[in-house]
Structure 1
């Protein structure tokens, strides 16, 4: 083996070094099996010499699977780009022969009715090792090569003991698409001499970067809400094994050192048992020892938190395990100049590798404590449920699809959900049989369920690393109530939820020679509308309520007149039958257009809808998360076509092919003065802009809309404050993510399809839009007492009260609709997706009298 030699050439700013080989990383004094391939045997280079691509990573793991009787490789899913999501199950050969029994026994440890009967003395602990959920934090996935090799090839009594007493689930890449995107970029810009200049192209990846998955989602925020395939596969594996420990290897700013948990104590979620932090601190001693031994700087308890249960390092804490976050200073490429000297890629890998081994050692030496804690966690959760007097949660709405998707989300986490068997009335709210679900609470998942449904407005700390609220029924805009033990009975429980029991759609009333309609309150109604428009149907939308027979149809109902279509009646019926079944919505056949009580179907109140031809502005100065949410909504949920239009191409592109432009949060500094005039001319000629958050400031600046925001408390310099309070006060004024109540105008086109005048909205910005003076121009207003769940400072709460959530302006023949908030947040905010889509389909129908 070659030794690692680092030579700084004083005459240039380049670094030349003999690449680190395995001796740089692996612990000394250990022998390795010669029949196990080293990483370089398969990759063609040493670990850290190049950034490993995902295909090579998988190739090496498959080679280990073939060569080692300690490893079994499983493909647990695939990404949007078709890359395999793999897990290596690593344990002793004898454990492999008894793996199913060991798995069942471990799961039994989480069952309070049976766990007392288990002897844990010889029970293996389960350790989930996860790497690089952010693709441009690659030291983790590159470390997984070394960890897998070490566990497959190391020899001696210590490794034998570890493998006998531990079942390791090694996930070498939480985010294959992002990892591959980043590796390709960095490797493509690597010089033969390694340059550490922070300005070097290699160290400055282009927008949107490799952090995110295919649709630009941060996968480390999706553990709880599980909207993405990578998360769904991972959570299924998690609950298949219920690990005692999960480690999550990340990177942070290059001028930092190395961080391991515990995080800041005052920012722990109060639902997390104190024992979690005791065991976390105990593991910290092992990490410190490992990093001390190689002279690496580190810190703990000064950054990050364990509040939001949707992160990898926190999700285990509400599931009977322990989650550990590691943050390594990032070399960004292969080497980077930092405040602490030149940071090389191999050095970052070595730190991650040493803390992977320290985690394994710490878990093994505290195996009884981890197993006992897991057993007691689920017993305590069950006892809490029993003492609470709460028997179940009932939730539901008129939209069967939103109900279904919330039940589906909970089911992914192993929570028992049942369709309602009988109509239920709680606190004056009726829950119909086919429009609601029941979640029993008297079980060991009690804490997890409460974490999903609870409302929190009081906090020990005012600073949050991520969101402070995620109350799921509010996100889905679904009513819910808790049923106490006296009111609950087993007859409320119908069929257990199953993913195959999706809502069904049908033609109601069979054939019609006159017209068909479908209502707009279903989540997938926009998908049906777009499909018909794309296939040449001429459609209208009801702007007034109307009746047909004994059924009332509300505003937003889509009318399909038979007589004006360029298709035969048979073709129309056949298409609509297919569509109703495929999308899962009911389409009603109407026999006549006459109605003396409301309006007839030929009324001018039915307005013609045109198909939206959409461009989403993307690129530098545009927030990629928000753009990805819109792309995902169109592409994955609604089957709608949309062009991703880079802002740096804007000046060269003809806008004539688009009638809708979406501008999400961003600065739009890449658009110059000529681009702004071009955009204004396009709107003047009839274009529609749907913008949100930071885009409103840009639109206001160039004269497209009146979106002058009130200044936040953070920018108020008129009050005297102590210098020492800077971080605390400024941080407390940030709305990291909380839920607020708005009042909406149900007659307004932006709110077609909603049944209730109050709508929960997610907010993560400090932009406050004053209400307009126009009588019809405030269709969405924050209420007098808007806080529903989460944290907001008193100063910002006052500014948010009675402010506006949307503004509409006309410019020539076109319109600009601006939302102050992200209505598509992280793909799980189903409740406000419809508002955004209404702007796309119906924005041009808004009367000019409703302008700001």
Structure 2
């Protein structure tokens, strides 16, 4: 009758975990608004008693040195089910408690066999802040007598709507850049388990029906093995059968693509699993007129429940095929890497080491091995030295994902994209980087492996300024420095034109912090800015005059 708010969803899952020996609840992160992100580990009590062993053996499938010796006949499959990463697509999150209850309380032989052979990671809400925002809107505009007219205010959610997280970021584009706490927490869960299947439950336009993958066959990332799409299509037959039983309309192999690895339905494809996108026509409220007749919120939930369960049926019945595919995915990655024309990627940014550190953190979130550069190397973009350069070898389990992150793919079988059409992350970080061709690669290029991202080394000591400080906006952490200065109510300006001071060139965007007419005295400003420069490794320059050598002066109205 009502849209579940996130707090009620959490309360239900907590009660379910307390009542069932099949369910263990874990909090894996907090949103910006402080809401918990939860995952329910659901499997048989026997499997729970051996969960660490099951997890370790499952991860061994990704290790070509160990995987050939593993016995798949008794190994459980792992399925990660995620709901409503877009908060205003709520049928998924509202289906989650029904799916969880069925698994926790079901007494049929079918459920018991499923729990014996599958470990389920159930995330009831990928986007708690967005879900809370939308549920509030839908519930506050619900009528006692439901209004289905599409002109009703219930269906006209005000901006910024509930699709995004607190900072209005689309979390279903963040699996690859992984900049937000929701995404970073999800990646920890993902790589802790390396699921065989990940389901991503969405909604689409109200006059559609129900979509499940595969998507458009010609619009698949060329790095994805063809067998991935074959297995996706086999799983699709289970969804079709489940929806046939209740007479729901559906379609597949249309509308959606599998190009960008930063989505929940495509990220598993480059990690040895099968990603599945579900798109349910949205009621956008409680009851809505559509081209197919009135559509209730309950109807949309039912389709999500049916396909969540059909996925689990497919996982159980295709278990050994999925496990064997995962094993071969990483075995063939090693073989393909050895033959690949590129044997490594090097990158560096000596002018702004913070960008390098953050990029290494990103790579490690994706379970990618990074090394210090072991010897100097000259690439097409410039020189690289062991002092400040790093190298990612291709011969490692994440070979295909490394390609997906570093390659500049410009040719595709089908050039139509759903939305994101570029994703070379070193370019996003503006790093100097180059591929190392097979003819140039030497094992000696691999220095010490990086277990933790390198620490940010402070810049040279900041001298006290007589007139003002100039802060280089090109540095990765310059916004953090500006934020700290504004919190102290210091007045800053920004250059809109280039200029030169003491022989140094400053581009547009350079921040100007004058010493005069500030709430802090010059000594306090120097101490504050010095500590910030040390903490964030940002370039700060002390100047003693407002007159520039060339270009605008510091008092120019163009600041």
Q: 1:181 aligns with which of 128, 133, 138?
A: 133
What is aligned with 1:757?
none
After TM superposition, give the deviation of residue 543 of structure 1 in Å.
4.0
- Which residue is equivalent to 1:375? 327
**Mapping of 1:141-152 within 5 angstroms?**
141-152=93-104
2:13 counterpart residue number: 61
CA distance in 2 between partners of 1:111 and 1:575 (Å): 49
Q: Indicate yes or no: 2:558 matched with 1:845.
A: yes
State the Cα deviation string for residues 74-109 of structure 1 (Å, max 9, x = none). Answer: 000011111000000000101111111110110001
Structure 1 pair 51–577 and aligned structure 2 pair: CA distance change class (3 A): same
- Which residue in the other structure is 2:43 paired with? 91
Larger relative contact order, structure 1 or 2 (CA cutoff 8 Å, min sep 6): 2
Structure 1 residue 487: deviation in Å? 3.2
Moved more, 174-183 or 521-530: 521-530
User: 1:186: how far off?
Assistant: 0.7
1:475 is matched with 428
1:288 shift after superposition = 1.0
Map of 2:537 onto structure 1: 584
Corresponding residue to 1:409 among 347, 355, 362: 362
TM-score, normalising length from structure 1? 0.62
Greater shift in the superposed pair: 109-118 or 455-464: 455-464
Displacement of 1:299 in angstroms is 1.1
- Determine if the alignment matches structure 1 residue 207 to structure 2 residue 159: yes
Residue matched to 2:397: 444
Structure 1, unpaired ranges of 5+: 1-48, 594-599, 611-841, 847-852
Kept in 2, the 8 Å contact 1:399–1:435? The answer is: no
In 2, Cα distance between equivalents of 1:199 and 1:517:
54
Aligned to 1:741: none
Establish whether residue 190 from structure 1 lines up as the match of residue 142 from structure 2: yes
Correspondence 1:326-337 to 2 at 5 A: 326-337=278-289
**Alpha carbons of 1:607 and 1:290: their partners in 2 closer, same or farther (altered >3 Å)?**
same
Show the counterpart of 2:216: 264
Cα deviation, residue 282, structure 1: 0.8
The equivalent residue for 1:34 is none
**SS of residue in 1 equivalent to 2:81:** strand
CA deviation digits over 1:41-65, x for unaligned, max 9? xxxxxxxx21100000000000011
Contact 2:347 2:389 in 1 (8 A): yes
| Partner residue of 1:121 out of 67, 73, 78 | 73
Shift of 1:145: 0.7
Pairs aligned (count): 555
Indicate conservation of the 8 Å contact 1:386/1:442, yes or no.
Answer: yes
1:536 alignment counterpart: 490
Q: Tell me, what secondary structure is at the counterpart of 1:438?
A: strand
Deviations 1:13-47 (A, max 9, x none): xxxxxxxxxxxxxxxxxxxxxxxxxxxxxxxxxxx
What displacement does 1:473 show?
A: 1.7
* Aligned-pair Cα RMSD in Å: 2.6
Partners of 1:320 and 1:444 lie apart in 2 by: 10
Match of 2:347 in 1: 395
SS in 2 for 1:223: coil
2:454 paired with 1:501: yes
**Residue 288, structure 1, aligned to residue 240, structure 2:** yes
Aligned residue number for residue 53 of structure 2: 101
Higher mean Cα deviation, 61-70 or 455-464? 455-464
Matched, 1:131 2:86: no
Q: Which residue does the alignment assign to 1:573?
A: 526
Task: Give the TM-score normalised by the residue count of structure 2.
Answer: 0.92
Q: Answer with 277-286 or 82-91: which moved more.
A: 277-286
1:728-782 CA deviation, whole Å, 9 max, x = no partner?
Answer: xxxxxxxxxxxxxxxxxxxxxxxxxxxxxxxxxxxxxxxxxxxxxxxxxxxxxxx
Which secondary structure state, in structure 2, belongs to the residue aligned with residue 430 of structure 1?
strand
Out of 476, 485, 495, the position equivalent to 1:523 is 476
1:642-668 per-position Cα deviation (integer Å, ceiling 9, x unaligned): xxxxxxxxxxxxxxxxxxxxxxxxxxx
Q: Which residue of the partner structure matches residue 275 of structure 1?
A: 227
Counterpart for residue 420 of structure 1: 373
Structure showing greater radius of gyration is 1
Aligned-residue offset at 1:536: 3.3
Q: Which deviations, in whole Å up to 9, do the C-alpha atoms of 1:345-377 show, x marking residues without a partner?
A: 111111111111111111110101000000000
TM-aligned CA distance change 1:184 to 1:434, over 3 Å? farther
Distance 1:428 1:522 in 2: 20
